[in-house]
Structures are given as C-alpha cells and as structure tokens.
C-alpha cells in the first residue's frame, strides 16, 4: 500500500521535461482544460499518458478525468470537438474527436465491488485524489491538472517509476479483490515497463490467484496478448507462474516444470521454453520493415515458441538404462495448444497457425545430414504452408544446447535445408503446387461425380506431384487409373 505522507516534492525540472514530451497535444489539452474551468469544473490528464510522458514513451491515448457529470462533459465536448459519442454514460465516459486527436473523459469515480464479478457498482466521486486511489497501480495514479499542468501524485507513482517498482495505491489485497484482472496487468507492466512488483504485491497476487476465475476468458486473453507482445515478455510470464496465475489461465506452462530425474537425463523444459521464446523474438524481422518475413512483434511465433513443448509432460517416459523420451509430444502438444487457445477465445486463424507450428516443430530433426529427397523438402514446405517463415525461426530458436559443436552442426544443417527450399521455390513455385490434373480432369479420367472419392483422388495426385515433381498429364492420368483400380479392388 502506498504511503502518500512519505512522498517528497517532485523537482520542477522533472515535471517540465515530461510536459515537454506532451508538446504536440498540449495546446489542445490546455484549451480543453480552460473550457472546463470556465464551467467551474476540474479536468486532468490521467494514467498511462502521464506515466509515459515521464518515461519518454509515446502514448496514443488521451485519457482524462473530470469533476463534471457526464451530461456536462458531453455539452462541453459538443461545443469543442468535431464529433462526440457516448462511450459508456453509465460509467461516466464520453469520447470526442478534434482534428486527428481523440479524447476520452471520465467523471471522477468512487466505485464499490461486490467481489463476485469484476464489474463495479458505479459511483461517481467528487475529488481527483479519491479517483486516483481506486486506480490499479501507483505509476498509473498520477495526473496533470489542466490547464495549469500541476502534477498530482499522492501515492508516489513517480518515485516508483524511477525505482522501477510496482505498487498499488490502496492495499494490494483490496485492489486485486476489487478487480482480479489487475493481477494480469501487473505481469504485463513487468514485461512492458521492466517494473519489479513489491513483496506485498507478490503476496497478494499469490493469495488471490484463484479469483481470476471470475474474469472472462476474453479479458484474460487480451492481457496475455499484450504481455507476449512486449519487448521482453519472459519476466512477466515468470511472475504469472510464480504467483499461481498461470495455473488458472495457461496451466500447460507451469506444468513444464518437470522434476529433474536424479541422473539429469533431460533439460528443464520450462526454462528451455522461455529460452526458445527469447531466441524466437531475436529472430523476428525489423518491425520497421513491413516486408520482412516475420515483423516484430509476432504473436503467432511467440505463442508457438512458448507452447511448442507443452506435450512433453503427458508423453514423458523413463526408458531402460536411465533415458527419458517424449515420443509424439509434437502431436499431443498441437492438440493441447488448440484446446487451450480455444478456451482463451483466440480466433480460429491464430489458433490454427500456432497449433500447426507446434505440430511441425520437430519435423526438421528428421533432416539428419541433409539426406532428404527433393520430395521430402517439398512436403516440408507444403505442410508448413503460410507458416514456413515462422517455422524457420521456431526451429532455429528451439536449439538451446550448450554443446557448441552440436549447435553449429544443427545451424549448418538448417542453412542447407533453407537453401534447398529457396532453390525449389524458385524452380517449382512450391507455394502454388497443384496436381497436374484439376478436379474436372480427374472426374473425367475416372468417370466419377464430385464428392469424397474425387477429393481422395485429388490428394493422391498431389502426393505424386510432391514426391516426383512434374511427370506430365498423360503419366499422371495413367498413375491415377492404376491407383483407382487398386482402390476399387480393395473396396
């Protein structure tokens, strides 16, 4: 819990430096502040935009809070803006646009929670200090009064920001009981801002982890996504696991902490997975290059890196002689990935892409010393489909061995595979590979109507194309008839 009385004054030059970063929007904000003041109302920039100004970060949000009732705010904004809209009158929020800027203004709040859901019983407050104490963390409980730009920081948020410390304005157990999603935000701020939660915050998160169950899967997913897209998501993920929150929303990750057998026959899968995630992030393309193969930050690649080994706990076997195996953990892991992502309400395309990468992440290890046939390379490319560039990066990131000779050998082998893929792509345009006979031609050769049998015939000719390359339409038709005779006889 914060201690406002212990907060020393902030040097004026620190405030001036932060205000200078708001220069592009300062005239707009001060002009709006003057309009509220003329009506006898208070207005302040609050939360993320203030925090980011002190961090030197750009912020696209303009969140403000006011003493004015929603109808008064709406009237003032109607005279000031180009357009206004009701974003949630019951919650006191009115939005407006002026030029290229959008603002959201919320009446001071003094909400109460019944603790059975995270939805508050909305109550409007009458002071800025009262509004700030109900916010999630001290670094978000700072405000700049408008139009005079006075910093209001009753809970020492600026000092916490300088110390990279994460605390709550009120007692953390009260704050998290009011809204359990704040615990997910804590992990996100650890990842995004490099903050370290105070001991009392960690304790409160641990004790309240079970309460995350009252938060919708969509809200949890959104926070997880924001965390994963941070420059360094690993510290935030570690916090989720440490306090037990991951058990509630992504239990497959803490399950990776397999107890090490006495002979240390296998790696710590949890630490390995976090390392793979870090290495995958390092292999993403420059975010400023939209034409890069996998521009950062890439959610699909990061999810696949984190989840690629979640099939190992279910498939671990201790072999005679002290060895450990994880046979088919790629297939099992793919199914677990799809199930978990569906539970978190991820969209179908993202779920399909991540699950496919998990399924394919071991495929390269059959490459050996580069003895794959062109047919096998074609299948590798075709099976990866649009995920090929991500699969390249996931496969490389999955090498975490400390044996430098082995690491160099794997890297050279994958270099060779990529070169062969590029050569075949140029020669054969593998992304456009189709059977040499189309559906109408297949139907004519076999004398069948569209239906399941036609689909099987199409897949057979596709396998011929992948295995043997281009053999010509006449040869393809002959092979098709031979296959059909075999199928018909067995039926």
The string of pLDDT tens digits covering residues 96-127 is 999 999 999 999 987 666 656 656 666 788 89
Helix (H) or strand (E) holding 88: strand 83-88
CA gap 29, 331 in Å, rounded = 55
From 229, 249, 269, the end of a domain falls on 249
∠ Cα 175 180 184 (to 5°): 105
Look up the domain containing 226 and give its range: 171-249
Q: How far is CA 372 from CA 247, 283, 395, 437, in A?
A: 41, 25, 17, 27
The string of DSSP codes covering 328-391 is THHHHHHHHHHHHHHHTT--HHHHHHHHHHHHHTTGGGG-TTT---HHHHHHHHHHHGGGHHHH
Tell me the residue ranges of DSSP E strands in 204-288. none
Sequence-distant (≥ 6) Cβ neighbours of residue 164 within 8 angstroms: 193, 194, 195, 196
* Same-domain pairing of 339 and 266: yes
Per the DSSP assignment, residues forming a β-bridge with 19 are none
| Percentage helix, strand, coil for the chain under 3-state DSSP, each rounded to 5 | 55, 10, 35
Q: What's the pLDDT tens digit per position in 333-367?
A: 999 999 999 999 999 999 999 999 999 999 888 76
CA gap 380, 35 in Å, rounded = 64
* Same-domain pairing of 229 and 83: no
* Same-domain pairing of 308 and 336: yes
∠ Cα 158 206 269 (to 5°): 105
Of the candidates 53, 30, 33, the residue with the CA atom closest to the CA atom of residue 42: 33
CB–CB of 357/390 below 8 Å? yes
From 432, 455, 470, the end of a domain falls on 432
Length of the chain: 491
In this structure, the number of other CB atoms found within 10 A of the CB of residue 1 comes to: 17
3-state class (DSSP) for residue 146? strand
* Same-domain pairing of 232 and 349: no
3-state class (DSSP) for residue 95? strand
Cα dihedral value 62, 65, 70, 73, nearest 10: -60
Q: How far is CA 142 from CA 44, 51, 333, 392, 469, in A?
A: 10, 7, 44, 45, 65
Cα dihedral value 239, 349, 332, 434, nearest 10: -150
From 190, 224, 249, the end of a domain falls on 249
Of the candidates 481, 479, 455, the residue with the CA atom closest to the CA atom of residue 467: 479
3-state class (DSSP) for residue 83? strand
* Same-domain pairing of 245 and 262: no
Q: How far is CA 50 from the centre of its chain?
A: 25
* Same-domain pairing of 10 and 135: yes
* Same-domain pairing of 456 and 410: no
Helix (H) or strand (E) holding 166: strand 165-166
Per-residue pLDDT at 141: 96
CA gap 365, 369 in Å, rounded = 10
CA gap 176, 179 in Å, rounded = 5
Terminal CA-to-CA distance of the chain, rounded, Å? 75
* Same-domain pairing of 346 and 390: yes
pLDDT in tens, the chain (491 residues): 554 445 567 778 888 888 888 988 999 999 999 999 999 999 999 999 999 999 988 777 899 999 999 999 999 999 999 999 998 777 889 999 999 999 999 999 876 666 566 566 667 888 999 999 999 999 999 999 999 999 999 999 999 999 999 999 999 999 999 899 999 999 999 999 999 999 999 999 999 999 999 999 999 999 999 999 999 999 999 999 999 999 999 999 999 997 554 444 445 899 999 999 999 999 999 988 878 899 999 999 999 999 999 999 998 888 887 778 888 999 999 999 999 999 999 999 999 999 999 999 998 887 666 678 888 888 888 889 899 999 999 999 998 888 888 888 888 888 888 888 888 877 766 556 778 888 899 999 888 888 888 888 988 888 888 778 788 999 989 999 998 888 776 55
Q: What is the domain count for the chain?
A: 4
pTM of the model: 0.84
CA gap 254, 324 in Å, rounded = 20
* Same-domain pairing of 158 and 233: no
* Same-domain pairing of 379 and 463: no
Domain CATH for 230: 1.10.110.30
Domain CATH for 56: 3.30.460.10
CA gap 178, 118 in Å, rounded = 7
Task: Report H helices in 22-127.
Answer: 26-38, 48-55, 70-80
* Same-domain pairing of 319 and 417: yes
Residue 160 φ/ψ, nearest 5 degrees: -65, -40
* Same-domain pairing of 142 and 15: yes
């Amino acid at each position: 819990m914060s201690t406002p009385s212990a907060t020393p004054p902030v040097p004026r030059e620190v405030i001036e430096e932060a205000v200078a970063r708001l220069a592009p929007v300062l005239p707009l904000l001060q002009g709006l502040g003057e309009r509220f003041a003329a009506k006898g109302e208070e207005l302040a920039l609050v939360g993320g935009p203030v925090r980011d100004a002190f961090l030197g970060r750009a912020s696209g949000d303009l969140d403000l809070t006011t003493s004015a009732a929603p109808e008064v705010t709406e009237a003032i904004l109607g005279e000031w803006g180009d357009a206004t809209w009701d974003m949630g009158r019951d919650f006191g929020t009115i939005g407006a646009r002026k030029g290229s800027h959008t603002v959201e203004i919320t009446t001071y709040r003094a909400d109460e929670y019944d603790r059975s859901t995270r939805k508050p019983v909305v109550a409007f407050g009458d002071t800025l200090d009262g509004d700030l104490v109900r916010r999630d963390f001290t670094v978000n409980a700072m405000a700049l009064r408008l139009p005079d730009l006075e910093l209001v920081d009753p809970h020492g948020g600026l000092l916490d920001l300088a110390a990279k410390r994460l605390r709550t304005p009120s007692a953390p157990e009260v704050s998290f009981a009011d809204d359990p999603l704040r615990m997910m935000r804590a992990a996100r701020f650890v990842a995004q801002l490099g903050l370290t939660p105070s001991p009392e915050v960690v304790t409160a998160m641990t004790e309240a982890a079970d309460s995350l169950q009252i938060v919708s899967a969509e809200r949890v997913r959104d926070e997880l996504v924001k965390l994963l897209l941070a420059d360094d998501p690993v510290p935030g993920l570690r916090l989720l696991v440490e306090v037990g929150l991951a058990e509630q929303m992504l239990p497959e990750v803490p399950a990776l902490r397999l107890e090490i057998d006495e002979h240390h026959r296998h790696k710590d899968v949890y630490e390995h997975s976090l390392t793979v995630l870090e290495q995958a992030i390092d292999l993403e393309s420059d975010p400023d290059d939209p034409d890069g193969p996998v521009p950062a930050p890439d959610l699909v690649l990061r999810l696949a890196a984190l989840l690629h080994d979640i099939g190992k706990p279910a498939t671990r076997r201790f072999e005679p002689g002290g060895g450990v195996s994880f046979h088919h953990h790629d297939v099992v892991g793919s199914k677990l990935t799809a199930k978990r992502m569906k539970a978190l309400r991820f969209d179908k395309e993202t779920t399909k892409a991540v699950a496919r990468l998990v399924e394919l992440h071991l495929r390269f290890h059959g490459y050996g010393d580069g003895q794959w046939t062109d047919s096998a390379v074609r299948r590798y490319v075709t099976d990866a489909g649009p995920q090929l560039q991500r699969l390249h990066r996931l496969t490389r990131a999955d090498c975490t061995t400390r044996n430098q000779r082995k690491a160099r050998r794997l890297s050279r082998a994958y270099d060779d595979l990529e070169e062969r893929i590029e050569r075949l792509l140029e020669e054969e345009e593998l992304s456009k590979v189709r059977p040499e006979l189309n559906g109408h031609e297949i139907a004519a050769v076999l004398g069948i109507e569209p239906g399941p049998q036609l689909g099987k015939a199409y897949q057979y000719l596709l396998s011929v194309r992948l295995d043997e390359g281009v053999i010509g339409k006449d040869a393809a038709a002959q092979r098709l008839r031979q296959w059909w005779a075999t199928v018909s006889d067995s039926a």
